[in-house]
Every structure is written in C-alpha cells, then in structure tokens.
Amino acid sequence: MLSLAESMAALQRIADSKPVSTLAAAFADAGYEFALVGGPVRDALLGRAVTDLDFTTSAKPDETRAILERLTKNIWDVGRDFGTIAAKLDGETVEITTYRADTYSDDSRKPDVAFGDSIEGDLVRRDFTINALALLLPEMRLVDVSGGVEDLLAGRIKTPGEPEVSFTDDPLRMLRAARFSSQLEFEVDPDTEAAMVRFAERLDIISAERIREELVKLLATGDPVPGIRLLVDTGLAERFLPELVALGTTQDDHGRHKDVYEHSLTVLRQAIELEEARHGDSEGGPDIVLRLAALLHDIGKPATRRFERGGVTFHHHDVVGAKLAKKRLRELRFDNDTIKKVSRLIELHLRFFGYSDQQWTDSAVRRYVRDAGDVLEQLHIITRADVTTRNRRKAERLEHAYDDIERRIAELAEAEELAAVRPELDGAEIMRLLDIPPGPVVGKAYAYMLEVRLDEGPIGKEAAEARLRAWAAENGIGTDE
C-alpha cells in the first residue's frame, strides 16, 4: 500500500480529472452527496491502476438521470431498478448508484432492492471492508466505517459486519472473496472463511450466470490458484464444479507423489506462464478458454481410474473429460464457442504424448493440425503445461520433442498452407468429374480426397483428378463406361 501522502495524491488526481470534478460539482450544486466508492478507492490506495469509475450518491435514480442530462446526451440504464445509471462524460464511462440497502430472502436468486439514506449505511452493507471505502466529493473526505484501510494494510479480506449477515445478503460474495484473494494476493479472515464453509449451500440460490461470471473473473487474475484452493477448501466448488473437487482423491498415473488436483493446479499455473510469455498483454485479455481447459483437462480421470498390474491407469480420460466439461460448462451457461473449444482441448490434450518415442510422419502432423483447428495455439500451450514430472531428463525430452513438432508444423504450413488443409478438389468439382448429384457419395469422395491430401500433401489438380477417378472406378461410382 502507498504511504498516506502518496494515497491522498493518487485520490486527488482522480478527483481533479475533468469528468470526476464535473460530476462532483453538478451533484453538489443539486444538493446531493456524491462519492467515489469501492474498487477505485481501494486500488488507488494500493497504488494499483484505476480502470473503472464507480460512484454512489444520495440522489435517487431519476434525480441522477436529470443531473446527467444536463452534462451529456450519452446516458443509459445499467440497472435502473437497482439504482444504477451510466454515462459517458469527457471520454470516460461512469456508473452512479443510489445508496443501497439490499437483502436476499432465503429462497431468492435476486436481491430485494431498497435504497438507503446515508453513505455509512450504504458502505456497511457492502461485501468486504476493503471495498467499503468512499471518497466524498468535492470535499475529499475519506469515509471508512469498518476498518477498510487497516485491512488493506494487513492484506486481509473481511466482511464489514458479521459474515453471516453479509453472505445472507448476497451469497455470491463468498465467490468474490476467493477472487479477491487471488486478485489482490490477500488472505481471507478466519471468521469470514469459516462462514464460507457454513453458508456454502446457500450458493445454490444464485443463478448459474452470476456464478459463471465470478469464475471467469477469478480465472482472469494473475494467479487464480489461491482462489481456487479457497473454493475447494470451503466446499463452495462442490456446489458448481464438483468434477474439480473429485480430482483431490484421484492418484495420478506417474507416481505417488501428487494427486490429480495438485497436478491440475500446476498445469493451470504453467499454462498462464506460457500464455503470458507467448502473448504478453494481448488486447483480448486473459485467455479464459485456455485457463478453463488447463484446470479441467483431467476431470475424466476419476471416472476412468483402474488399478492394473500394481499401477493406476486412466484409459480414455481425455474423451470422458471432454464430455464432462461440455456438460458442466453448459450448466454454468457458458457460450457455445467456449464450450466447444474447451472440450476440444481436453479431448486432444494427450494426442502429442508418444511423439518423442516415435517421430510422426508428415501426414500425422497434418492430422494433428487438422484436428486442432482453431485451438492449435492453445493446444501447444496445454500440452507443454501438462508436463509436471519431477524427472528432469524426461521433462527436457518432452520439451525438445514439442519444440520439434512446432517446428515441423511451421515448416509444413509455410510449404503448403497447412492451417487450411483441404482436398484439392471441392464438392462441385467432384460432382462434375464423376457426373453425380449431391448426396452421400459426394461426402465419401470428399473424405477420400482429404485423406490423400493429409497423407501425401499437395499432389496437383491433374493427379488429384486421376486419383478420384481411380477411387470411383474401384467403388463402382459414376457413369463413365
């Protein structure tokens, strides 16, 4: 955390920015309290970059909108019923929420919205003390009703009041505790963690969409592992990701020194390291598909574990795991593209192993690329990250082998546009050459020509047409006599 002088200077810079000073003056002139609140205050005090501007006010939503309409035309309701109005002002997007005092009923998935009448009442109902901080503007008065600054200094995540009350108000806060433990590298207060264990079942009232959003935010942090451990240890993960919890009792097939759960966390960390080394701060942000696949790549092992000849085997756990991941991600309401890519990566994550013992033919490399499709780059990372053996010689051998296959893929791609492997004859050309109508026969002919392409690479149009005619003759296809 910054020194007091540095912290106040950081907050002053935010307050002096044009959109913030304009808003503060407008609300003050209208007779309402106005404050920067939550994450922006926390991050400024920690010396972290402030990317979002969240404000709270004593003005009701209609009053907030009326004030904003005098400043900008770019206004929209983020959640009018929840008291939040957004606007774009001087190039900055801001969200302004009326003081809140929400609660959940025992069986409700949505809060019962109630507007509060004081900044102190609003803050004490927030999730954690480190987020229950506000900077009243324009007077520059820091409001800390529950020791948030002290907890920032201690690196502690703690609820403002009794954790039982906080988690009853919004059970999703338990997942947020796990996310902040990773995002800020803070420890969760023992009483708060104990309440997470007691109230884990209450997470069942939260919608799958909200749980998914929190899981994605956790996976997007620099190191999600501490947060994931907290979810598993408190029993929360069992409520929405039981396949991950099951890995803790499943011994891996490479020795007795670690379980599959610990291996999966190591793979996740290594995948993130490789992702950052290869792509840095890409515009698209953290690769959630990659991180989900790394975390879940072995979830098929519990269902496929067999004890054979004094050892443990997990035959076909890749295929089983892909199906389990597809089902779980659907239940968490992930989009179809994410589900497809994650399950494909899990299904293919073992494909490479064995290459180091017997080098693949060019046709095998082509098939590897063809099967991976648009997840090839992510498959490279997953495969490399999946090497967690303590045997240094074995690890180096696998690394060199994968260096070799990536080199061969690049060489073949440069020579023959491998990334878009297609037969040299398309469906229309097949129908014309064989004089056949659309139908299953065209598909069989296309599949045959694709195998020729994968096995032999480009052979040229003339040779391809000759091969197609020969295949058709062998199979009694076509009208040529």
Tell me the per-residue pLDDT of 372-407, one tens digit each, with 9 for 90 and over.
Answer: 989 999 999 999 999 988 888 888 888 888 898 898
Query: C-alpha 399: how far from its chain's center?
Result: 26
Residue 308 has pLDDT above 80, yes or no: no
Which token pair is 105? Answer: 């009923």
Tokens 């020729």, located at residue: 452
Distance, CA of 314 to CA of 171 (rounded, Å): 37
Residue 259 has pLDDT above 50, yes or no: yes
Distance, CA of 238 to CA of 200 (rounded, Å): 9
Q: According to the model, what pLDDT value does residue 412 have?
A: 80
- Mean per-residue pLDDT over the chain, rounded: 89
Given 1.20.1050.10, 1.10.238.10, 1.10.1060.10, 1.10.110.30, which CATH number is that of 157-240?
1.10.110.30
Give the CATH number of domain 4-154: 3.30.460.10
Which of 97-111, 163-177, 198-212 is predicted with the least confidence, judged by mean pLDDT?
97-111
Cα–Cα distance list, 407 to 22, 223, 414 (Å): 57, 30, 11
Looking at the chain, the whole-number percentage of residues with pLDDT higher than 90 is: 61
Q: According to the model, what pLDDT value does residue 327 have?
A: 98
Residue 111 has pLDDT above 70, yes or no: no
Cα–Cα distance list, 414 to 101, 381, 382, 409, 429 (Å): 61, 21, 24, 8, 26
Taking only the tens place, the pLDDT of each residue in 190-245 is: 999 999 999 999 999 999 999 999 999 999 999 999 999 999 999 999 999 999 99
Distance, CA of 57 to CA of 36 (rounded, Å): 9
Cis peptide leading into residue 138 (ω within 30°): yes
Q: According to the model, what pLDDT value does residue 410 have?
A: 86
Which token pair is 414? Answer: 């440069």
Tally the residues of the chain.
Answer: 481
In CATH terms, is domain 258-420 a member of 1.10.3210?
yes
Distance, CA of 442 to CA of 471 (rounded, Å): 12
Distance, CA of 342 to CA of 348 (rounded, Å): 10
**Residue 395: how many CA atoms within 13 Å on its side-chain side?**
8
Q: Which residues of 363-379 are buried (b: 16+ CB within 10 A; e: fewer)?
A: ebbbbbbbebeebbebb
Which token pair is 332? Answer: 């968490």
What pairs with residue 251 in β-bridges?
259
Q: Which residues contact 357 (CB under 8 A, 6 or more apart)?
A: none
| Residue-range domain boundaries for the chain | 4-154, 157-240, 258-420, 427-474
Tokens 């295929």, located at residue: 319
Which token pair is 110? Answer: 């949505």
In the chain, helix, strand, coil percent, each to 5?
60, 10, 30
Q: According to the model, what pLDDT value does residue 251 have?
A: 61
Contact by Cβ (8 Å): 86, 76? yes
Which token pair is 245? Answer: 């919890």
pTM (2 decimals)?
A: 0.82
Residue 479 has pLDDT above 60, yes or no: no
Residue 480 has pLDDT above 50, yes or no: no
Contact by Cβ (8 Å): 265, 225? yes
Torsions phi, psi for 38 (to 5 deg): 75, -130
Distance, CA of 146 to CA of 150 (rounded, Å): 9
Residue 88 has pLDDT above 70, yes or no: yes
Distance, CA of 291 to CA of 71 (rounded, Å): 42
SS3 category, 292? helix
Residue 268 has pLDDT above 50, yes or no: yes
Residue 283 has pLDDT above 60, yes or no: yes
Which token pair is 382? Answer: 């997953």
Which token pair is 207? Answer: 């919608």
CA neighbor of 381 nearest in space, from 267, 263, 280, 285: 267
Taking only the tens place, the pLDDT of each residue in 418-461 is: 555 678 888 889 989 998 888 889 989 988 988 888 888 888 88
End-to-end Cα distance, the chain:
85
Residue 253 has pLDDT above 60, yes or no: no
Q: Band the pLDDT of 105: cuts 50, 70, 90.
A: low
Mean pLDDT of all residues in 40-57: 92
Distance, CA of 326 to CA of 469 (rounded, Å): 41
